[in-house]
Amino acid sequence: MVSVLLPRTKVFFTGRQAIRVVAQRYKSAQAEAHLHHMHHQNGLKGDVYPAEKMGLDDLNENVLKAKYAVRGAIPMLAAELESQLQKDPNSVAFDKIVSANIGNPQQLQQKPLTFYRQVLSLLQYPDVLKHGEENLIKSKLYQRDAIARAKRLLNDIGTVGAYSSSQGVQGIRETVAKFITRRDDGEKAYADDIYLTAGASSAVSYLLSIFCKEQETGVLIPIPQYPLYTATLALNNSHALPYYLDEQSNWSTSPAEIEEVVNKALERNIKPSVLVVINPGNPTGAVLSVEAISQILSIAAKYGILVIADEVYQENVFHGAKFHSMKKVLRNLQREHPGEFDNVQLASLHSTSKGVSGECGQRGGYMEVTGLTNEVKQVITKLASISLCPVVTGQALVDLMVSPPQPGDDSYEVDQKERKTILASLAERAAKLHQTFNSLEGIECQRPEGAMYLFPKLLLPQKAIIAAEHAGMTPDAFYCKSLLEATGICTVPGAGFGQEPGTYHLRTTFLAPGTEWIQQWEAFHKSFYEKYQD
Amino acid sequence: MVSVLLPRTKVFFTGRQAIRVVAQRYKSAQAEAHLHHMHHQNGLKGDVYPAEKMGLDDLNENVLKAKYAVRGAIPMLAAELESQLQKDPNSVAFDKIVSANIGNPQQLQQKPLTFYRQVLSLLQYPDVLKHGEENLIKSKLYQRDAIARAKRLLNDIGTVGAYSSSQGVQGIRETVAKFITRRDDGEKAYADDIYLTAGASSAVSYLLSIFCKEQETGVLIPIPQYPLYTATLALNNSHALPYYLDEQSNWSTSPAEIEEVVNKALERNIKPSVLVVINPGNPTGAVLSVEAISQILSIAAKYGILVIADEVYQENVFHGAKFHSMKKVLRNLQREHPGEFDNVQLASLHSTSKGVSGECGQRGGYMEVTGLTNEVKQVITKLASISLCPVVTGQALVDLMVSPPQPGDDSYEVDQKERKTILASLAERAAKLHQTFNSLEGIECQRPEGAMYLFPKLLLPQKAIIAAEHAGMTPDAFYCKSLLEATGICTVPGAGFGQEPGTYHLRTTFLAPGTEWIQQWEAFHKSFYEKYQD
């Protein structure tokens, strides 16, 4: 038997300067008041201290108020329905859940690129090379260029089982810098400005942690936005400063509106420190023009605002649209207007989760910073060092993403074919879904040019709005829940992304294979409108 | 030519309620005062707003004050010396850097376990299975049990390229629950209480984000501690409440001291919400007895404090010591004293980075929570969902760590041999280094029982302390810097972990292969003492 101090429900004990009560956690305000009363009547100083479990009241309010709709109420209901479906297939109206709530391509049968996976497989088990490279190639287990890449990466990394530097493996950052230089028509990038990250979300978390000074700070975010930004802002207890995208002109940005938001924040003594741009847009699918980017950079220069360019969908561009990186446009402006844009600070994000890679679960990504002072860059490195390093296989995947097989490499033809198949199929499904929406009464959808999502507007009948109110839900959530229960298609209500007051939207990916689900949606929509017709 | 708003250095413009000055960032307090003066003289209201780059003043103070010594000044100097060594080998006094500053086994030639890497390789490239399992086995590329495990994991996961649930893959959490139940002599664990995490550091980050309410909250941490805790507390702007471990009794905990720290915090109106226990100890190497754990749990029960049990070194136990999990001891106490310990809340952390796995770069880990309410558990899941999911290969590695090959499996014998070699070599080097320290004048070291570190006390001569002062360094940093420059051995000064005022320590891993570096250290130490002898 060990000797222990037993916990008690009420203990009076003597501290150095005060006497305290250790009591059962007070169950109500009255009980608390009573306890305090007793406590002071007994001439005791100090606080009553609960010895019961912590509840929500004991938690950090910033964490409590953070919301992340992409994994919010509707997706949680979908998870419940999924397990119900497995237990009793007859208890639900569909035979599978279609997860259109999150951009998770491989969950929906997008095939990983063979070259990537061959290299990652070799990095995990380099001993396989002891069987002789020529043997492996001859027996078609691995391609020659995959082996060569794995060897180069192992030389840069050492082993994927060791911590790398917190900023990321030097050799991989050099590959990224070369890629950016190539992509931006020769505008030079440097390995020192690259930070490898666990997807783009950890870059957002670093940047907002560093640049947000709680209530002093405001961060301009587009509405609709990807809810990672509002969630991270809530965690940092800073202000979201929404600027609305104009749905009628294909979700374009208005520089006049952005500047107005900046000035209104200043009037409220909030410093607009950061401006978030998502290009191609999530959830809108819009791709920004050079002119739109230039206007945003002008505002950034004028007010000394750091721009976060979330460019994770830069490969997901179709229907003739063209992606222009914020960095390239900035360098052009700096050349055209000497001295005028030198103060601009930019952090551009990319990720292995999207594009033709779609390797969400591998948590690879990078951030390129432009115009930041060395001391600020050191702060980023220090913050990254507290979580040691980004996963090393994810770092390697970044190398593969930015430096795919080239003409003449053994993997080239297969790789090209795989890429084209993925892009064509995404563009086709985007078009099909867009067309279906616009053929239906009560739904309007802008033409998508990029990313993986559509964000249609729901013109809901008054009766549906009233029914939603009766159900205690917002009208968009009511539509999404009805859609889920009728068809198994899981989407996210527009409220999670932000929308003009009085309008209702939803976000859906167009990643799900086949077209059957689109037909089911169409049928659901028609019957929903019939039911709630005014 | 695009049309843009050009940034200007000084602009007067009219907002709705005020007129502002957009000016070059003031370079000094005087300049700022002058600008404000001008501004108000002109009858302008509101603030002067800088349009120049952000500097350290513009950043979040919590991030600025966070320190992480394991990657601090001495390791940064080591990185510089390393690149100097590569450029000009004759410019430094050694021929390689020995990274003894961080527990990074594979960086120092610890071999990854073959079974782990075979499975991970198959998860990355399951197409290899199309070549026929029997062919792969016959040609000795993969063992039969590695293939079977990969298939089971693929069945649970789908693909490592898709986001998993934010809490982690269900099937893997079930494997973890079985492991804990087995490890804790049948005390049952549940998959619902397991959260898969990116190493233990992301679990610490989640827990402290959730349970810290800035200045209201205090977190008890052992001194010396692993600096991740003080760094994460700084980020959350909460109080570190240090409790000292007793060096003379092999770094043991004193329940009386812990309770005193709790009471002193209460007197200062700080709520001691969390108590961190690192067992086996980092940096101390001490392993807690059942009695010591019981005493800590009694304090947790009495004051309603959540315990974080950092048990990442649970496999690294040697020289006859035995690891007891906090959870098992808690369950025993709950059975022996019905009702008395039911309020205890515990989060136990484990990682694939340490132990015989040493897979730091793969970022695998788990957290088991005990006694938390469902609503608090949901908050953890929500917070995890904001970073989408932990890397899926890291999750798979957790499965492998907690469920290694069993007798009869094809990999069993090789796996056992690899494990025993690693453990024996660690125990041997720990003993050798410990023995060397205690044979030297001016250095005292407790006998290590676990983890990967020694934390010897430096009894520095007065002249060394004065020399350190002249160099503008703390005496422990001065010793570490001298050691690094003379031998290439990189360690971390005790100040980074905390130490009794007036005492000086350093932390070193005993991971570096060979014994040559130990001899070099010995020679350095003798000449250092000769030089600074009183």
pLDDT digits (tens, 9 = 90+) for A375-411: 999 999 999 998 899 999 999 999 999 999 999 999 9
A56 and chain B: CB distance < 8 Å anywhere?
yes
User: What percent of chain A has pLDDT above 90?
Assistant: 82
A388–B25 CB contact, under 8 Å: no
Q: What are phi and psi of B48, to 5 degrees?
A: -80, 135
A343–B56 CB contact, under 8 Å: no
- Cβ within 8 Å of residue A276, ≥6 positions away: A219, A220, A221, A222, A225, A229, A307, A308, A310
Ranked by mean pLDDT, the top range of A33-37, A99-103, B158-162 is B158-162
Residues of A in contact with B11 (CB under 8 A): 302
Q: Which residue of B has its CA nearest to A392?
A: B361
3-state helix/strand/coil string of B193-234: HEEEECHHHHHHHHHHHHHCCHHHEEEEEEECCCCHHHHHHH
Residue B114, Cβ neighbours under 10 Å: how many? Answer: 18
Query: For the domain bounded by A66-108+417-532, which CATH number is listed?
Result: 3.90.1150.10
Collapse the DSSP code of A243 into the 3-class scheme (helix H, G, I; strand E, B; otherwise coil) and give the result.
Answer: strand
Listed residue (B226, B225, B302, B308) closest to B262, CA to CA? B302
Rounded CA-CA distance B184/B329 in Å is 9
Question: Which tens digit of pLDDT belongs to each residue from A160-179?
Answer: 999 999 999 999 999 999 99
Nearest CB among B2, B16, B161 relative to A358 is that of B161
Residue type, B197: T
Across A61-75, A205-219, B404-418, least confident range: A61-75
The CATH number of B163-402 is which of 3.40.630.20, 3.40.50.300, 3.40.640.10, 3.30.565.10?
3.40.640.10
Q: Can you tell me the mean pLDDT for B439-468? A: 95
B383 and chain A: CB distance < 8 Å anywhere?
yes
pLDDT of residue B54: 87
Residues of B in contact with A398 (CB under 8 A): none
Rounded CA-CA distance A292/A282 in Å is 17
A371–B117 CB contact, under 8 Å: no
Are the C-beta atoms of residues B390 and B197 closer than 8 Å to each other? yes
Mutate to test the interface with A, among B65, B264, B386 (most CBs of A within 10 A): B386
B54–A302 CB contact, under 8 Å: no
**How close A277 comes to chain B (CA, Å)?**
17
Q: How confident is the model at residue A26 (pLDDT cuts 50, 70, 90)?
A: very low
Nearest CB among B341, B362, B372 relative to A161 is that of B362
- Per-residue tokens: A455: 């964000």
Query: For the domain bounded by A165-402, which CATH number is listed?
Result: 3.40.640.10
Rounding to the nearest 10 degrees, give the CA dihedral for residues B188, B193, B196, B202. -120
Listed residue (B335, B218, B300, B277) closest to A51, CA to CA? B300
B375–A202 CB contact, under 8 Å: no
pLDDT of residue B22: 37
Chain B, residues 111-170, CB within 8 A of chain A, namely 112, 114, 117-118, 120-122, 124-125, 127-128, 131, 139-141, 157-166
**Residue A495: pLDDT over 50:** yes
User: What percent of chain A has pLDDT above 70?
Assistant: 90
- The ipTM, to two decimals, is 0.89
Nearest CB among B3, B160, B263 relative to A361 is that of B160
Q: Which residue of A has its CA nearest to B18?
A: A267
The contacts found for B436-442 with CB under 8 angstroms, 24 or more apart, are B436/B518, B436/B521, B436/B522, B440/B522, B440/B525, B440/B526, B441/B529, B442/B525, B442/B529
Rounded CA-CA distance A220/B532 in Å is 58
CATH superfamily of B64-108+417-532: Aspartate Aminotransferase, domain 1 (3.90.1150.10)
Chain A, residues 212-271, CB within 8 A of chain B, namely 212-214, 228, 231-232, 235-236, 255, 263-264, 266-267, 269, 271
**Residue A268: pLDDT over 70:** yes
Q: Can you tell me the mean pLDDT for B130-159? A: 96
**Residue B5: pLDDT over 90:** no
Domain locations along chain B: 11-59, 64-108+417-532, 163-402
**How close A176 comes to chain B (CA, Å)?**
20
Rounded CA-CA distance A394/B57 in Å is 33
Mutate to test the interface with A, among B141, B147, B303 (most CBs of A within 10 A): B141
A71–B166 CB contact, under 8 Å: yes
Are the C-beta atoms of residues A239 and A215 closer than 8 Å to each other? yes
pLDDT of residue B15: 32
* This model's pTM is above 0.80: yes
B211–A59 CB contact, under 8 Å: yes
Question: Which tens digit of pLDDT belongs to each residue from B99-128?
Answer: 999 999 999 889 999 999 999 999 999 999
Nearest CB among A214, A333, A361 relative to B164 is that of A361
Q: Which helix (H) or strand (E) covers residue A13, if one does? A: strand A11-14
Nearest CB among A161, A209, A264 relative to B106 is that of A161
Rounded CA-CA distance B434/B521 in Å is 12
